[in-house]
Amino acid sequence: MKRLACAAVFKRFGNRNVMTPLRESEIALVKAATRNPLELRSRRDFRAALEQALHHVLVALHVEDRFGALRSQISEDRWFRALEQAWERLEPPARLQSWQELLDRLIRISYASRPYCLRCGECCRGGSPSLHEEDKDLWSQGLLSPRELYTLRPGEPVHMNVEGRLGSLPEELVKIRQRPEIGHCIFYQEEEKACRIYEHRPLQCRVQACWDPGPFEELWRAGKLSRRHLVQDDQEMLELLGAHDERCSPEKLGAAVGAWHESGSEAAIQQILDQLRYDTALRSLVQERLGLGEDELEFYFGRPLIRIVRAYGFRVERDGNGTYRLVRDT
Ligand code: SF4
Ligand code: SF4
């Protein structure tokens, strides 16, 4: 059942990145643009395709002027030379495997040739940072507020770039908002190619170095900031968050969808609807009672379950009496 749910997630949720991508999209493009290694019959073909692949990587990194230097470096590299010598004798499976390794090496060498930030903005266009404990001051100093943030609660179906897989989010994340549809961080200014809060950018942005993912990955394993860290002095809000998570959460929604996949029963559908109704009702109630703006709700209560359920291949319709109906999203 889990596999079914996961396939639906992949189809409908592919563009949500939990962390800023390490230029994954461009790397994928480079790999797709290079020739099929099984068509490279001679060493000459191999050499030409290698140089073409190197050119693609350097263009993606905006450093095509390094082509000559890196081509010489590769010509003297023992691993590349050995592969070139052996190429014509390799069986197809070995060719495919070696070509994959060759591309990975080209990408690594190219990144290493440019160990500084070009301020190209690619990482700010590809997503937004999650906050860490060190970012708490940005909140206490009023530099970040609920209007600029949103929460992903545990259990949300997401694409996790560090692990390179789809799955359920294991822990809560508070993130800077992204622009709808295009996914850019809201602080990214396209025309100036600049960050509006550069001097106060979160820790994740400060360690971001697309040529060296190490510090980023280490940070990713460190303590994340949660809503409760930020509202710890607001007892009423803490109780509301607790009641909301207890009654309806992405984890519970995922479990209810799983139960539906297994049984296909009406009771399972009602469980899903019950979660959606509670989530929607609580949001309107707190808007009314606490005077919270619509744009603050996604920080306090995470993304609406009505939206999350679409990742599982459902959408919600409401009839004239306000009654919810779950429809398979085709
Ligand atoms: S770290 Fe710098 S060079 Fe790399 S993608 Fe981000 S802005 Fe561009
Ligand atoms: S906060 Fe600034 S540096 Fe960080 S992703 Fe957004 S625009 Fe880029």
Question: How far, in Å, CA of 263 to CA of 82, rounded?
Answer: 57
Whether 186 is in the pocket of ligand 2, judged by its Cβ within 6 Å, is no
- Confidence at residue 24, expressed as pLDDT on a 0 to 100 scale: 56
Confidence of residue 208 (pLDDT cuts 50, 70, 90): confident
Q: Strands, E, within 204-252: which ranges? A: none
pLDDT tens column, 154-173: 999 887 665 556 788 999 99
Same domain assignment for residues 17 and 124? yes
Average pLDDT, the chain: 85
**Which of 229, 259, 283 marks a domain boundary?**
229
If one compares 114 and 311, the residue with the highest pLDDT of the two is 311
Q: How far is the CA of 205 from the centre of ligand 2 (A)?
A: 6
The model scores a pTM over 0.85 = no
Tell me, yes or no, whether 88 and 219 share the same domain: no
Examine the fold and report which residue of 112, 132, 161 is the final residue of a domain before the chain moves on: 112
Indicate if 129 and 205 belong to the same structural domain. yes
Candidate of 17, 204, 210, 212 to mutate for ligand 1, largest count of ligand atoms within 8 Å of Cβ? 210
Mean pLDDT, range 120-138, rounded to an integer: 91
Q: What pLDDT was estimated at residue 315?
A: 87
Residue 184 Cβ < 6 Å to ligand 2: no
Q: Are residues 96 and 129 in the same domain?
A: no
Whether residue 68 is found in the same domain as residue 127? no
**Ligand in nearest proximity to the CA of 195:** 2
Q: Does 94 share its domain with 187?
A: no
Residues 193 and 46 in one domain: no
Range of the domain at 45: 24-112
Based on the structure, what is the number of domains in the chain? 3
Which is more confident, 167 or 130? 130
Do residue 129 and residue 223 come from a single domain? yes
- Of 59, 79, 112, the position where a domain reaches its end is 112
Ligand 1 within 6 A of 208 CB?
yes
Do both 212 and 133 map to the same domain?
yes
Distance CA 70, CA 67 (A): 5
Task: Count the Cβ atoms, other than its own, within 10 Å of residue 230.
Answer: 24
Exposed, middle or buried, 25 (CB in 10 Å: 0-12/13-18/19+)?
middle
303 and 253 assigned to the same domain? yes
- Ranking 45-49, 168-172, 216-220 by mean pLDDT, the lowest is 216-220
Q: 210 CB under 6 A from ligand 1?
A: yes
Mean pLDDT of 25-53: 83
65 and 132 inside one domain: no
